[in-house]
Amino acid sequence: MTELATRTTLLPSLDVAAVRADFPILSRQIHGRPLVYLDNAATSQTPRQVIEVFDDYYGRYNANIHRGLHTLADEATAAFEETRERVRRFLNASESREIVFTRGTTEAINLVANAWGRANLVAGDEVLVSRLEHHSNIVPWQLLASELGILIKVIPVDDRGVLDLAAYSGLLTDRTRLVAVNHVSNAFGTINPVREMAAMAHDAEAKILVDGAQAAPHQPIDVRVIDADFYAFSGHKVYGPTGAGVLYGKASLLEAMPPWQGGGEMIETVSFEEPTTFAGIPHKFEAGTPAIAEVIALGEALAWVERTGIEAIGAWEGQLLAHATAGVSRIDGLRILGTAPDKAGVLSFVVDGAHSQDIGLLIDQLGVAIRTGHHCAQPLLAQFGVDATCRASFAAYNTLEEVDIFIDALHRVIGMVR
């Protein structure tokens, strides 16, 4: 048996037909053609088990959580807090109180910037941000810099879209307070060595925040192995609903941080005569009525991922990416952006003589959904001399046949726009 065959037989198996049966939307036709959905890095589709959570919650136990003494409130609170424990296991956090529910990765990063950043950063302090970042891990630090006078230093990437670790090491100084880096690039699919980067940050006595929005759907995450101080991800990237996300933070950091938003739920006592006191973690960061149904549905999405097998999902997506990369590489004038040796299921490219928006609009007419534009990564694309790319991104339910349909459609579309 060849080495390749041996490796292939060791890959975790995935029953793609069974996976696809869980997703009602995949039976839809677009412009008279079966839907081929390759925009998963923006939002993954949702299995029926997650969709059913909403009917169950609103039809059977809709109530506000915590503090209620009646049965519906008890049931809703239990389901909500069970999701917190499921997220803890999903990330291998030490305690469930290290899990804060947010609306998504963007809100989680803003929470860290406003609660931890304002309490710990002063003029002249440095925050390191990689050029691979989504705008949500750039703009909050820029806003803070304009107010506090902190300095933002950019970790460079090479022409493959790989972070320059030597340069990163050189950027770490005794003024570095935080490193903000994604686990997986949404624009290029680069998988960053966050465990190594965390160790280097900690050696410099800095903290590290990891944007895990694009990692959570593709690979196991262990925040204790990474030694992340903060880790964030969004439900709608990992087969869950929009409007629900997670911030993990080490308990010691969360306990020391002031609240970001004020209101109900996050208090212990409120008085006009005495200072207001706040609830313990994580509740002091969850002001107001949360997205209860969405959080419970997120728990079901993570349960679906666990049943399906995250290793099997990642291995299958690797096969899809390899097949797609080989196929588009045979197209004259097509240039792939992001050729890191370690990638998740993201394929970004530009085509000579064709605008990405034209390709995206026309390929949709053939039933294929891809993403075009700057992908909220304008500083990264600027380095490569482009302002937009086409991006195909893969999920557990995609098939090799769909990849072939995508490649054939791409040939047809490019012939039309050149």
Q: Which is nearest to 322 in space by CA: 342, 304, 307, 308? A: 342
The pair of structure tokens assigned to 38 is 């390759």
Q: Is 64 left (phi over 0), alpha (psi -120 to 50) or beta?
A: beta
Q: List the Cα angle 215/152/187 in 5-degree steps.
A: 30
The pair of structure tokens assigned to 408 is 């054939």
Q: Is 188 helix (H, G, I), strand (E, B) or coil?
A: coil
Q: Is 367 helix (H, G, I), strand (E, B) or coil?
A: coil
The pair of structure tokens assigned to 100 is 């804060």
Q: List the Cα angle 48/53/58 in 5-degree steps.
A: 135
At which residue do the structure tokens 């090799």 appear? 400
* Residue 76 to residue 83: CA distance in whole angstroms: 11
Inter-axis angle of helices 48-60 and 292-308, nearest 10: 150
* Residue 298 to residue 83: CA distance in whole angstroms: 7
* Residue 386 to residue 337: CA distance in whole angstroms: 10
CB 138 within 8 A of CB 129: yes
At which residue do the structure tokens 């890095």 appear? 41
- Return the C-alpha torsion angle 61, 63, 64, 70, nearest 10: -90
* Residue 249 to residue 257: CA distance in whole angstroms: 10
CB 126 within 8 A of CB 154: no
One of 154, 303, 312, 376 is an active-site residue; which one?
376
At which residue do the structure tokens 């190594």 appear? 196
Q: Is 390 a catalytic residue?
A: no
Q: Which is nearest to 404 in space by CA: 366, 371, 348? A: 366
Is the Cα torsion angle 133, 131, 356, 363 positive or negative in sign?
negative
Q: Which residues are catalytic?
A: 376
